[in-house]
Structure 1
Amino acid sequence: MGHVNHTWMPSFLLAGFTTTGILQPLAFLGTLCIYLLTLAGNLLIIVLVWADSGLSTPMYFFISVLSFLELWYVSTTVPMLLHTLLHGRSPISSAACFVQLYVFHSLGMTECCLLGVMALDRYLAICRPLHYHSLMSRQVQLWLAGASWVAGFSAALVPASLTATLPFCLREMAHYFCDLAPLMRLSCVDTSWHDRVHRAVIGVANGCNFMFILGLYVGILRVVLNLPSAASRAKAFSTCSSHITVVALFYASAFTVYVGSPGSHLKGTDKHIALVYALLTPFLNPIIYTLRNKEVKEAMKRVSVRIRTLLNEP
């Protein structure tokens, strides 16, 4: 009977971040502002790609899919972060915890696949320009985007389901959302086998996709360096620079947290690292894709003119 009591855990307690005094409202307001700006930035990209014909290219279609994903990705964890910042330690039911774990990792692995698809798009645009539009037709774009979502949500089933079947003896989690490493630390049993499975699924998926992207960019580099003029080389590099920056941010945080053993980090450090990939990266992505992008800036001007015209019509 005692074993049953240790195995079933109706809810967990998310410790969140310890903030006191003036730091508590400041941390809450700062996080809330970043969250709202993240939602606004990614929604803006989606609306621009949908509303402006100048952005109706495969590259911007995939950027809009990434922005749609980021809306869900950041909304999976940040509301709970805001709750813990405002109220301190917060309970979460076991069912909600494991759903959050699954959705968060599904979206993360979908982004991994989508970044690979975006690299393939850049490779075809630069290395196969004459066949680009036939190779990257609208049907192919939809198929690649859909395949990324299916692959991400399928691969995440393994670590999420294995973690959900663990027996738990402890209730309080040193994190602000349900993630692999903090959950496994609450288990009553040795989780080394689970560590190996998680490394195999997440590590191999991230590693193979990273090598795929790297191989594509090696091919792009070879072609770009052989272009006749410096202007054409600069233009080719500029179409890739935003994607390279996003890939660097994503994989730097992913390799730090998940390629090693999910239980290898010191207790309490996971939540600080998580702020980078769960909050900061979705916030930076729309900035990276729009800040130095002339096409997006011009599209914003065209759409704003259309909106003003509509508003001024009698």
Structure 2
Amino acid sequence: MIPANLSEVSEFKLLGFSEVSHLHLLIFVVLFPLYILTLVANTMIALIIHGDKTLHTSMYFFLTQLSCLDICYLSVIVPKILENLIVGTIGVSKIGCAMQMFFFLFFGVAECFLLAAMSFDRYVAICFPLHYTVIMNSRVCISLVAGTYLCGTVVGLVHTTITFSLPFCGLAINHFFCEIQPLLELLCGNSAPTEIQVIAVAVFAIVCPFLTIIYSYICIISTILKMSSTESQQKAFSTCSSHLLVVTLFYGTASSMYLRPKSSYSATVDKLLSLSYTVVTPLLNPVIYTLRNEEVKRALRKRWRNINILLK
């Protein structure tokens, strides 16, 4: 029997992929190499940008921050998933669960606002090219990044503090990490106020930066269409297309998770959505930026040549 009120609970159970236990080994075999590949790809992007002085611009400064966020974001979630796949249902302390939720929200929300900062950078570069280096100086770039981390901290603290100050009437989290929606399922009594709070914070963390991105790209597209040279238009579109792909991937899955009521929650569907934005998106980010960015590819080829010379 489970006590009616588990507000003093010290440990939760992460059920993970218990409904497909026969596929645990297959999921592990697929997920573990993807995790390592994502860590290597994002680390490589950060090191290439850091080591090439021609890439020391605001655009690549933000890209380095994105790679670092993806590494941290992924590492908060995936190790627990891998442990769950090997061991089965695992326990996680209440403090450990709260910390996982906080850091998941911290890095996730910071990435939302960082993508907005990157869109602002592209807006200034295309709409005010003559003033770009003056407007997007190092102080402004550092302030924007600091702002993204501040927003992540505030959202993470608000969600985590409110959620874990409420009484729980369940121990088993039907997910592979301490996600908000499955934890709401375990709250005692009427969880509607908490659900409203989740959606309100999600509006701030997802919709506000997304509207900033939309406005930036309306201005960008308007400026591009006014360009007389077709070559200039293609170059401008090429510069923005990578960022737009990343935004679509990240915001598409995040909004489908958090901008809807608990009544529409489906554990199986939400696990798949969570996998897409915790594993797939961080892997695709460096691929998109590498394959679609000539400067990054050129720096990568240069680094590869240097390595070959050293090995000979």
TM-score under structure 2 length normalisation: 0.95
- CA deviations 1:193-242 (Å, max 9, x no partner) are 01111111112331111111100100000100010111110000000000
Unaligned runs of 5+ in 1: none
- CA deviations 1:112-162 (Å, max 9, x no partner) are 110010000000000000000011112221121111111211122111111
Question: 1:220 corresponds to which residue?
Answer: 220
Residue 260 of structure 1 deviates from its aligned partner by 1.4
TM-score under structure 1 length normalisation: 0.95
| 2:62 is equivalent to residue 62 of structure 1 | yes
Residue 74 of structure 1 deviates from its aligned partner by 0.4
Matches of 2:105 and 2:179, distance apart in 1: 9
| 2:137 is equivalent to residue 134 of structure 1 | no
Matches of 1:3 and 1:169, distance apart in 2: 7
- 8 Å CA contact 1:116–1:213 kept in 2: the answer is yes
- 8 Å CA contact 1:174–1:267 kept in 2: the answer is yes
- 8 Å CA contact 2:175–2:267 kept in 1: the answer is no
- 8 Å CA contact 1:184–1:263 kept in 2: the answer is no
Residue 263 of structure 1 deviates from its aligned partner by 5.6
Structure 1 segment 1-314 matched on structure 2, within 5 A: 6-18=6-18, 19-21=20-22, 23-262=23-262, 264-312=264-312
Report the more deviating stretch, 68-77 or 156-165: 156-165
How many residues in Structure 1 have an aligned counterpart in Structure 2?
A: 310
Residue 7 of structure 1 deviates from its aligned partner by 1.9
Matches of 1:166 and 1:246, distance apart in 2: 36
Residue 5 of structure 1 deviates from its aligned partner by 5.4
Matches of 1:244 and 1:32, distance apart in 2: 28
SS of the residue corresponding to residue 227 of structure 1 reads coil
- CA deviations 1:223-276 (Å, max 9, x no partner) are 000101111100000000000001001111111001112563124432221111
Residue 52 of structure 1 deviates from its aligned partner by 0.9
Matches of 1:88 and 1:6, distance apart in 2: 23
- 8 Å CA contact 1:9–1:94 kept in 2: the answer is yes
RMSD after superposition = 1.6
> In structure 1, what residue type is equivalent to 2:29?
L
**Residue identity (%):** 38
- 8 Å CA contact 1:181–1:263 kept in 2: the answer is no
Q: Structure 1 pair 32/292, CA: closer, same or farther in 2 (3 Å)?
A: same
- 8 Å CA contact 1:38–1:283 kept in 2: the answer is yes
> In structure 2, what residue type is equivalent to 1:288?
I
Residue 80 of structure 1 deviates from its aligned partner by 0.5
Matches of 1:11 and 1:262, distance apart in 2: 23
Q: Structure 1 pair 191/279, CA: closer, same or farther in 2 (3 Å)?
A: same
Matches of 1:20 and 1:194, distance apart in 2: 32
Matches of 2:262 and 2:42, distance apart in 1: 30
SS of the residue corresponding to residue 265 of structure 2 reads coil
- 8 Å CA contact 2:110–2:148 kept in 1: the answer is yes
- 8 Å CA contact 2:169–2:188 kept in 1: the answer is yes
Unaligned runs of 5+ in 2: none
Matches of 2:300 and 2:6, distance apart in 1: 57
Q: Structure 1 pair 7/160, CA: closer, same or farther in 2 (3 Å)?
A: same
- 8 Å CA contact 2:34–2:283 kept in 1: the answer is yes
